[in-house]
Structure 1
């Protein structure tokens, strides 16, 4: 097996990363516009959209896990030269995603009021929250389709077309927010319903466009819907990838909620600490978009290399992306270190909350190499189909270290948010140690499908 030239490998890393970076930035801009427009309508609407956004993250977990399975299965199949297997996995993940999305629409609709009560929605927010939840539930099949098709196209290294579609539909979403949510340019003002329907239309349109793009790419043909016997074999592989990925998402999200609870119950200045943590994480979400893009790109490269049987190339791609992401993000956070006060001032006018936000950014910037390395390594194991390793790393680092240490340092030793942030750094260090040990010492490549898998 011939190794890919070093310059060519760096070019592949960059060509896959920058479109993902821009796509994530566009998606973040859409979410920011939704929140801003909701705030212009009223604080109740803004609070409702924030509340339903948390519920939406949980409902999207299955779709994201299915997309992760698609990246590993399709990229490995393409790398192995198994075009029909790639088409069959494409058909299988699309079928599974649509069935899951439609089932969630009906289940969510039936238990909609129960969901709102479980989230302890205040009575004065029930009406707008119910509007958002109902329309967002109808949007789920389109969002599942969009997430899966984008993952499939990423797996075949087609990342620029999804970027263009995301940009066009994102602009449509923003225009709909302003026109029908706020009533700009003489259009009727529908308020919360206008914001929700704008999301529905833009997501559904983008999903349909990218779905039909699969045909000229040769990923959807008459043999894309596999026979039942093949579905059983292929489904087992997807479950082996998807279930740990779903477990990782559950561990992270529940751990995040409990960190908020620990911060909210600090013995001193807990309100400002929680507000500072929330503001700091919003800044973090923007700054670390390039790292998430690196995670997506390295999953594809590793999947292609392992599918073709080139384990050495997969290992080298992991090393190269680690260097690119860690050095790049470290330089970025070093530059932002000098304007951390200004960044905090963009998020709040309150002096105490600003101090707490700056405190969070200090810990966040110092631990940037750890966080970025963890994201990249999770992407490496995703491309290999070895998603159980990230799941175990989150279990030990978040539930075994971060949560108990956050409570002990934050409530007993330091009695401040600094204890919570030190625990975050410690947990990232533990997670990195686990993932590096797996990368260097464990046989994580054994989960890969290759051309020898004749049953598929």
Structure 2
């Protein structure tokens, strides 16, 4: 059995020993790169919407609809990583590096099949998916090519997320952040070249933002794979003993499917809400799409914090340190409260300024400023829920978070939203 050196020697400088030392310090050292990683994922979506705003709010609406479908595609698969994260963190905590590599290989197998089937079908049926939402034909036309190219980009991102998640579970939070930072930087900086045809680049319109994302995600995927093959982060990817392990894949799916349901249904609920909002016109759709991306700055960052607490908890559970595992989640809630206070203050102080950056149409601004104000009030409960859900599920306990999320989302939030929108004068603000 090949074992990991928990001392951090032998070039394994990126991996942290999470079963000893200060819990809040260990958590923060693990959390800030994952929080930054998660925030950067939203920043590139917001950057796409910024360029879309230069072309009118209908382009914002089209990209917003496409991004929700991309979220459904990616968040469902990210949920499947939950079992992998839990097993790898416990294997590393128990000093069993060989088994951790075996788990990673099975997770890669699942992701390859998922990407081939779901991503391929998404590209084929893009136009039908956009049309079913109920937005105008102009919005569908603007978003079709963008969404097809994004299916390719997000298929690569599936492997960026999986390999980064494996490294995080092994205790390395820096190298995945490097990959995401380079990827996001390339996407944001190269997008206007593809969109407007600067220099020798093709003039692709807003679809150019998706083309830039393909290049960016490819770079991020290669960076993570190089780190894994070198084995400097407590986990070495080797194909020498690769075999399809149906039993282990079944275990990964049993743990991961409830988490996938939990993650995916949030995105599906956004799609359901979007169908209702499309009855009020393209401007509310654009405002809804943008406000959800701003919301994701808080929620995605909180998910990163929750996953970090799960990595700390998982390794301590593997080492038999139950109290340290519990304490990591408590400290994650403290950090989330601080994050929420900062976000709420910024959203309340700069509501109109944030909206105006994207588009100055009065109809769009009227909806956007109202939703940003509501979002500011909701930051604290939203952040805490994300930390708890991902902190608990990424240690392997996925059923309870799924049941709680499904109940609150589909029995409370969705019915209330439709009731307030269609049975009161609030309309789309409901």
Shift of 1:38: 4.2
Tell me how far apart the structure 2 counterparts of residues 260 and 128 of structure 1 sit (CA, whole Å).
Answer: 17
| Residue in structure 2 matching 1:293, options 288, 301, 304 | 304
Equivalent residue for 1:92, pick from 75, 97, 106: 106
CA distance in 2, matches of 1:355, 1:111: 34
The 2-side partners of 1:274 and 1:180 are apart by 26
Q: Contact between 1:26 and 1:170, CA under 8 Å: does it hold in 2?
A: yes
> Of the two structures, which has the highest relative contact order with CA contacts closer than 8 Å and spacing of 6 or more?
2
1:235-384 matched pairs, under 5 angstroms: 235-262=249-276, 277-334=288-345, 336-346=347-357, 349=360, 354=365, 356-384=367-395
Q: CA deviation at 1:360?
A: 3.6
Q: What's the CA shift string for 1:272-328, capped at 9, x where partnerless?
A: 776655554343333455423312211211221222222221111111111221134
Write out aligned runs for 1:13-412 (5 A).
Answer: 13-40=27-54, 47-119=61-133, 123-124=137-138, 129-185=143-199, 187-192=201-206, 194-217=208-231, 218-222=235-239, 225-226=242-243, 228=244, 231-262=245-276, 277-334=288-345, 336-346=347-357, 349=360, 354=365, 356-412=367-423
Write the distance in 2 (CA, Å) between the matches of 1:120 and 1:328. 36
Secondary structure of the structure 1 residue equivalent to 2:308: helix
How far is the alpha carbon of 1:404 from its aligned partner? 2.6
Structure 1, unaligned stretches of length 5 or more?
A: 421-456
Gaps of 5+ in 2: 1-17
Q: TM-score, normalised by structure 1?
A: 0.78
Higher Cα radius of gyration: 1
* Number of equivalent positions: 410
Bigger mean CA deviation after superposition, 315-324 or 39-48: 39-48
Root-mean-square deviation (Å):
3.3
TM-fit CA distance, 1:113: 5.0
2-structure distance, mates of 1:262, 1:120: 9
Q: Please give the per-residue CA displacement for 1:121-140, whole angstroms capped at 9, x wherever unaligned.
A: 75556665443344333334
* Distance in 2, Cα, partners of 1:158 & 1:325: 21
Q: Taking structure 2 as the reference length, what is the TM-score of the superposition?
A: 0.82
Identify the range of structure 1 (313-322 vs 273-282) with the bigger mean alpha-carbon deviation.
Answer: 273-282
| Alpha-carbon distance in structure 2 between the residues aligned to 1:345 and 1:243 | 40
In 2, Cα distance between the equivalents of 1:263 and 1:348?
19
